[in-house]
A and B are shown apart, each in its own frame.
Chain A
Amino acid sequence: QVTLRESGPALVKPTQTLTLTCTFSGFSLSTSGMSVSWIRQPPGKGLEWLALIDGGDDKQYRRSLRTRLTISKDTSKNQVVLTMTDMDPVDTATYFCARTTASPPNYYYDGMDVWGQGTTVTVSS
C-alpha cells in the first residue's frame, strides 16, 4: 500500500523559512518512473503545483517560485523535503505531497496517483 504523509510547522512568521517533510512508504524513488511532487492550496482556492524530484535527483520547480524553493530527498529514509524561503502571509495554504508517476515506454508523466492528507501552514506574525 502506497502512503505519503506531510509534516512540518503549522505556523511560521513572515520572512522565515518553511521546511516540510514528506515521508512515504510502499514505493521507492529509485524505481524508474517514480517522483514526488509538492502541491499547495490556499484557503478556498485552487491547486498549485510547486516542485518535483525524481530518483535520479532531477528537480523541477514552479517558475514563479523558483528562487524560493528547494526540493531534496533522502532515499534511505523515504523522505522528500521542501524548503520555501521568505514566507509571506500569501503563502498560507494546505501543502500536499503526492506520488507522481511516468510510464514506459516514453516515460511521459501520468500525474499524481496517491496523495498525502496535507498539512496546513499559516504565515502570521
Chain B
Amino acid sequence: DVQMTQSPSSLSASVGDRVTITCRASLGIRSDLSWYQQKSGKAPKRLIYAASTLQSGVPSRFRGSGSGTEFTLTISSLQPEDVATYYCLQHNSYPIFTFGPGTKVDLK
C-alpha cells in the first residue's frame, strides 16, 4: 500500500511569511494528489487538486506543485485565517485514498 508522509508536522510562522509543506508518497502516484485545509472544529476544505490545480474560490496565495513521489503546498504570504492543519491526499494507488498525517500551521 502507498504510504504518505508530510513534513514538517507543525510550524509557526509570521503574517506575510512564505510557508512550504512537503508531502511524499512511498510509490509514484503521478499527479493524483490533493491538498486540504482543516480549521479547528470544521470539516476539511479542498485547496488544490491534480497536484497543482487551484480549487475555485481559494485564494491565489495557495500553490501546489510536484508529481510522482514529492509534492509541495506553498502559501506565498501567510494570513491569520490560514491557521489550520493541512493534509495531502493521494488517490492513485490502492487503497484508493490515503491521507498524509497532517501539518499544523500557527502564527508566531
Contacts and interface: CB of A to CB of B under 8 A. Distances in A.
Contacts of B52: none
Given A112-B46, A113-B46, A115-B45, A49 B97 contact: yes
Interface residues of A, number: 22
Contacts of A112: 34, 36, 44, 46, 89
A79 B36 CA distance: 24
A111 B97 CA distance: 8
Given A49-B96, A63-B95, A118-B43, A113 B32 contact: no
Interface string A91-120: 000001000000000001111110111100
A111 B91 contact: yes
A68 interface: no
B98 interface: yes
Contacts of A60: 95-96
Interface in A15-52: 37, 39, 46-49, 52
Interface residues of B, number: 27
A46 B99 contact: yes
B68 interface: no
A63 B49 CA distance: 24
A62 interface: yes
B101 interface: yes
B96 A52 contact: yes
A25 B34 CA distance: 23
A119 to B, nearest CB: 11
Residue of A49, A62, A109 ringed by the most chain B CB atoms within 10 A: A109
Contacts of B98: 49
Interface string B1-27: 100000000000000000000000000
13 contacts: A37-B97, A39-B99, A46-B99, A47-B87, A49-B89, A49-B98, A63-B1, A110-B34, A111-B36, A113-B46, A115-B45, A116-B43, A117-B43
